[in-house]
Amino acid sequence: MGNLAQEQKWSPAISVNNEVLDREHQGIFEKMNRVAQLNARLPKKMTLLAAFDDLIMFTAHHFKDEEAHMEEIGFPKVESHRASHRRLTEALERHRQEFVSSVYGRFPSSVFDFFKTWVTSHIMIVDKEYAEFERAKRNERSAALSEKAEKPEPK
Ligand SMILES: [Fe+2]
Ligand SMILES: [Fe+2]
């Protein structure tokens, strides 16, 4: 089962401790695997393109949600994170354009290798940064609260 072995799945090890964003990461993997599976079956070019567009749209939707979340929590590196999202979006558009103008009816497997590697390392390294930032902020807040509680009330 060569194809299945190559499938990339979301796992709790790459959780960003946010239910919505974790679910979206899961969705990106699912949609990417769907395009890869379809690609192997050689469907009509339009069918394959529709699945790829679905992946592009879902990814764009996730980036928007994630950027809004980072703004909301006051994450300081939101601009460089946004730039990283922009680079992937541009790469996906480029692959789409190449597919549309090529005489071949399928994507080269390098497109999937690139996307899988990019998504996995982006979640594990870049996305984890805002999750860590949030965790540190939470810890700070609870430390401040318990310090307050320990202080004796003035008599
Ligand atoms: Fe991200
Ligand atoms: Fe993400």
How far is the first Cα of the chain from the last one, in angstroms, to the nearest whole number? 74
Into how many domains does the chain fold?
1
Alpha carbon of residue 120 to chain centroid = 8
3 located within any domain = no
5 located within any domain = no
How far away, in angstroms, is 63 Cα from ligand 2 center? 6
Give, in order, the Cα–Cα distances in Å from 121 to each of 67, 114, 136. Answer: 18, 11, 22
Range of the domain at 103: 19-149
Q: Which residues surround ligand 2, an ion (CB under 5 A)?
A: 66, 127
1 located within any domain = no
Please report which ligand is nearest the Cα atom of 24: 2
120 located within any domain = yes
Please report which ligand is nearest the Cα atom of 85: 1
CATH number of domain containing 65? 1.20.120.50
61 located within any domain = yes
118-142 per-position pLDDT tens digit: 999 999 999 999 999 999 999 988 8
pTM: 0.88
154 located within any domain = no
155 located within any domain = no
User: What pLDDT sits at residue 4?
Assistant: 44
1-48 per-position pLDDT tens digit: 344 446 788 999 999 999 999 999 999 999 999 999 999 998 999 999
139 located within any domain = yes
Is the distance from CB of 21 to CB of 65 less than 8 angstroms?
A: yes
Q: Which residues surround ligand 1, an ion (CB under 5 A)?
A: 66, 127
